[in-house]
Amino acid sequence: MEIRKIESKTDERQVIDLFAKVFSGGGYYNSLSLKSNYVRAPWTRLDRNCTAIAVEKGEVVGHVGVLGYSKRIGSSHIRCGGIGGVAVEPRFRKKGVATRLFEAIIANMLEHGYDVSMLFGIPDFYHRFGYAPCLTHCEIITTLRDHEPSRSGLRLRVATKKDIPKLAKFYDTDNAGRTGTLVRGERDWLRVLKCRHHLVLRGSRCVGYIRCDGRGKSLYVHELAVEPKEAILAGVVELCLQRTAKERRAELCFNIPLDSPMAGFLQTQNCKTIQHHSRSGGPQGRMINVPQCLDRISGELSRRVERSAFAAKSLKLAVKTDAGSALLTLARGKVAVRPGEHSAPLQLSCPQQTLMKLVIGHGRPLRNLCGEKVGTKGDVGELLEALFPEGRPFLWEIDHY
């Protein structure tokens, strides 16, 4: 069996046929939309240099796709390989095909300049390729009974391609500094708008945008960016509740970051918040290139240090993992990163998964350091709290790989 890149239109066609066989039966994907979208659409982020297929006697029997995105870590941006289309032909399963594909794509991502990789996956499978849970899924639920009318005079209009600059402005403002979100370009907006979004208008002025869709007993708000004024937040909730009632659904569910203005507003109303944590499966990530990633986020790390008790201190911290090592030097409130293994008064030695959690702010640093394979030298606890504080990393639903 050969493990290689997609090289021809025949390969592309066979990849789509494989998806149709593996996914569409369960309604997981619509194979027709995959046909038109996955490989050739103008908005595809498929990275052909990193994606791998398994070929047996001229037939594509396995595929792991890498989608290249820019992702925020606070105010810094890193390169993230989003994993999609993980599929092995049923006849070839449990023979190590997916394992060989993952070995290939991880090496490819390292070669092609990625910092981290993330995926949304089935349980008990991806840990063997170094992926560990690194996002928490949140839902804020409110019902018609709970709400006071706002009479805000807001209305909705379906967004079109011409509205992309407006949508992008609201998205960029709302997500500035929000760890985990994608840095969306024009091409991403073309993909995003394949699902219907609405502009929120007050008179003729656009005050934001929203994407909702109904499923079962709930109307879901999957994306939202509006001016963070109470009257507008209240008006948007009211519009959504009206639609919830019109569609005879029982509740309104917001899949939004818990630190967003809308989440703050909802928490002043009657609502319930659910956080889904998973030990395995769901959103997971791994480091690809540790020194490069730390270097890319050194601007954000410096900002954090400047605001901390370490602002005036000079320190060296050596970080060692199985996905690379680096020396962090703090001086005059700035963090500089040097690749390679170093010896320093402060040292952290840990699996790359632990560092992934620290970088993305999933969980408290000291809790993340409880694992057996973590070693420290010197008093690193407070410094790690300053460099990698617990956050609320988030990825909007439409951007799930």
Ligand X SMILES: CC(C)(COP(=O)(O)OP(=O)(O)OC[C@H]1O[C@@H](n2cnc3c(N)ncnc32)[C@H](O)[C@@H]1OP(=O)(O)O)[C@@H](O)C(=O)NCCC(=O)NCCS
Indicate whether 60 belongs to the interface with ligand X (CB under 6 A).
Answer: no
What are residue 224's DSSP bridge partners?
A: 210
Q: How far is the CB of 134 from ligand X (least distance, A)?
A: 16
Q: Please state, in angstroms and as integers, the Cα–Cα distance from residue 364 to each residue in 273, 354, 356, 386, 399, following that order.
A: 20, 11, 12, 11, 25
By the rule CB under 6 A, 104 interacts with ligand X: no
Question: Would you say 288 and 106 are in contact if contact means Cβ atoms under 8 Å apart?
Answer: yes
Q: Can you tell me which of 4, 40, 128, 373 binds ligand X, judged by CB under 6 A?
A: 128
Cα–Cα distance, 161 to 42 (Å, whole number): 14
CB of 343 to ligand X, least distance (A): 36
Closest distance to ligand X from the beta carbon of 100 (Å): 7
183-216 residues labelled b (16+ CB within 10 A) or e (exposed) = ebeeebbebbbeeebbbbbbeeebbbbbbbeeee
With binding defined as CB under 6 A, does residue 21 bind ligand X? no
Using CB under 6 A as the binding rule, whether residue 99 contacts ligand X is answered as: yes
Q: Which of residues 309-348 bind ligand X (CB under 6 A)?
A: none
Decide if 296 contacts 80 (C-beta within 8 A). Answer: no
Rule CB under 6 A: say whether 95 interacts with ligand X.
yes
Question: Does 34 sit near ligand X (CB under 6 A)?
Answer: no
- Among residues 25 and 165, whose Cβ is nearest to ligand X? 25
d(CA 176, CA 183) in angstroms, rounded, equals 9
Least distance (Å) from ligand X to the CB of residue 324? 25
Among 93, 187, 272, 332, binds ligand X (CB under 6 A): 93
Distance CA 391, CA 385 (A): 11
The stretch among 88-96, 175-183, 262-270, 357-365 that binds ligand X (CB under 6 A) is 88-96
Q: Is 86 in the site for ligand X (CB under 6 A)?
A: yes
Binding mask 106-125 for ligand X (x = CB under 6 A): ---------------xx-xx
Report d(CA 352, CA 101) in Å as an integer: 20
Q: Which residues bind ligand X (CB under 6 A)?
A: 22, 86-88, 93-99, 121-122, 124-125, 128
